[in-house]
Amino acid sequence: MSGSWSGLNYFPGKNKQLQAANREIVEKSTTAVIGGGSWGTAIVKILSEAPGGYPVSWWMRNQDQINHIVKFGRNPWYLSSVDLDVDRKHISNDLRKVISGAETLIFSVPAAFLKDALKDIRPEDLQGKRVVSAIKGFVPDDNMIVGEFFNKEFGVPFSRLAVVTGPCHAEEVALEKLSYLTIASKNRTLARSIGALFSARYIHVNVSDDIYGTEYAAVLKNIFAIASGICHGLGYGDNFQAVLIANAIQEIKRFVDAVHPIDRDIKESAYLGDLLVTAYSQFSRNRTFGNMIGKGYSVKSAQMEMNMIAEGYFAVKCLYEINRQYGISMPICEAVYAILYKNNSPAAEIRALSGKLK
């Protein structure tokens, strides 16, 4: 089985009939975005600007943040320059209410806080809903990717599960820079219909059936971006970075091929593209966090310095535990784990790692 189906091209002026057909699949049901960070804000922007004008509701924890958005139409803390054309009546910190009023739920809460956000939600609340994860992290303790977590813990069938991946930073969505997303699901119709929701002048959508592989790759690349940042912070140059990332994609391939062996092309943008943007972009949270570690910040002080979440910090611990079962060779991830969780010297760990890279 191949990992990806043909891309749905949503560029304006091309494949307009296909676009219209997919929009019909979406219907006019409400879509709820769950999470008030940068990615949730970017998703609200994309959905609420759609030519079809789909109804969007939005959950976030903080009432002050909600009050500000209601008053000024902007998120005070994330992507604050973006005007949000969202119906202000539909922003709430009551998750059960938001979920009950929507047919499609798009989750963008960092994985580390997902269980806490869902603490009052029961499997029945998600019954019949389409559940989409835009999260790129492992659920701590369970050590599961998010799609798997919704399937196992909430009984959401794979026919109603999809994930959003691809090299797409919220900050560039805010600037309406052309970006590519991949919607992965075992259910082709669902993937196409979620793809139609995300269709925008500046968003190109691909669809894939590799729900496991794309999600694992999206989580792992955050760890490699931390490694990239650490090396930059230590003073390694572009020559070394290129070798690091070339080795990183091989680590990703070894891992996804072992945990979910299907025929996939790791060079596609949902895998290699996502790694590249996170490892090199000025907008990368994980690279920024790693850079601070390389420069000598402690984990705590680097986290405090950032108002944003570096998912790779949490992911590397889960990966370390998952990989006990598989024993896959992942020297870069091991070095990041040793630096962040064993307090090993970044300089010594990267020096030792450099001898293992090719």
Ligand X SMILES: NC(=O)c1ccc[n+]([C@@H]2O[C@H](COP(=O)([O-])OP(=O)(O)OC[C@H]3O[C@@H](n4cnc5c(N)ncnc54)[C@H](O)[C@@H]3O)[C@@H](O)[C@H]2O)c1
Ligand Y SMILES: O=P(O)(O)OC[C@H](O)CO
Active site residues: 221
Query: Which residue has the closest beta carbon to ligand Y?
Result: 286
Q: Is 134 in the site for ligand X (CB under 6 A)?
A: yes
Q: Tell me whether residue 187 or residue 286 sits nearer to ligand Y (CB atom).
A: 286
Q: Is 40 in the site for ligand X (CB under 6 A)?
A: yes
Distance CA 217, CA 136 (A): 9
Q: Is 285 in the site for ligand Y (CB under 6 A)?
A: yes
311 among the known binding-site residues?
Answer: yes
Q: Tell me whether residue 179 or residue 323 sits nearer to ligand X (CB atom).
A: 179
| Residue 320 interacts with which of ligand Y, ligand X, none, CB < 5 to 8 Å by class | none
Q: Is 39 in the site for ligand X (CB under 6 A)?
A: yes
Which residues are within 8 A (CB) of 61 and not within 5 positions of it... i.e. 6 or more apart?
36, 93, 117
Let me know the angle formed at the C-alpha of 136 by 302 and 192, rounded to the nearest 5 degrees.
Answer: 155
| Residue 134 interacts with which of ligand Y, ligand X, none, CB < 5 to 8 Å by class | ligand X
Let me know the angle formed at the C-alpha of 182 by 180 and 184, rounded to the nearest 5 degrees.
Answer: 175
Facing residues of 4 across strands?
208
Distance CA 320, CA 330 (A): 9
Locate all alpha helices (DSSP H) within the chain, ordered by sequence: 16-26, 38-48, 63-72, 95-100, 111-117, 146-154, 170-174, 188-198, 211-234, 238-259, 274-280, 285-294, 299-305, 311-326, 331-341, 346-354
| Residue 57 interacts with which of ligand X, ligand Y, none, CB < 5 to 8 Å by class | none
232: its two tokens: 């930059």
Q: Is 280 in the site for ligand X (CB under 6 A)?
A: no
Per-residue x/- mask for ligand Y, residues 165 to 204, rule CB under 6 A?
A: ----x-----------------------------------
Q: Tell me whether residue 193 or residue 222 sits nearer to ligand X (CB atom).
A: 222
**CB under 8 A, 24+ apart: contacts of 91-94:** 91/57, 91/58, 91/59, 91/60, 91/66, 92/57, 92/58, 92/59, 92/66, 93/59, 93/60, 93/61, 93/62, 93/63, 93/66, 94/59
Distance CA 198, CA 181 (A): 8
Would you tell me how many other CB atoms lie within 10 Å of the CB of residue 92?
17
Q: Is 209 in the site for ligand X (CB under 6 A)?
A: no
Three-state DSSP at 244 gives helix
Q: Site for ligand X (CB under 6 A): which residue of 45, 129, 136, 204?
A: 136
| Residue 295 interacts with which of ligand Y, ligand X, none, CB < 5 to 8 Å by class | none
One-letter identity of residue 249: I
Q: Is 225 in the site for ligand Y (CB under 6 A)?
A: yes
78 among the known binding-site residues?
Answer: yes
Q: Tell me whether residue 23 or residue 45 sits nearer to ligand X (CB atom).
A: 45
What is the 8-class DSSP label of residue 274?
H
Q: Is 136 in the site for ligand Y (CB under 6 A)?
A: yes
Distance CA 191, CA 182 (A): 9
Query: Which residue has the closest beta carbon to ligand X?
Result: 37
Q: How far is the CB of 37 from ligand Y (least distance, A)?
A: 10
Interaxial angle between packed helices 188-198 and 16-26, expressed in degrees from 0 to 180 and rounded to the nearest 10? 110
| Residue 135 interacts with which of ligand X, ligand Y, none, CB < 5 to 8 Å by class | ligand X
| Residue 284 interacts with which of ligand X, ligand Y, none, CB < 5 to 8 Å by class | ligand Y
Interaction site with ligand Y (CB under 6 A) = 136, 169, 222, 225, 278, 283-287, 311
Binding site for substrate: residue ranges? 136, 285-286
In the annotated binding site for NAD(+), the residues are 35-40, 113, 170, 285
In the complex, the residues that contact ligand X under the rule CB under 6 A are: 35-40, 61, 78, 108-111, 113, 116, 134-137, 168-170, 285, 308-309, 311
Binding residues: 35-40, 61, 78, 113, 136, 166, 170, 221, 274, 284-286, 309, 311
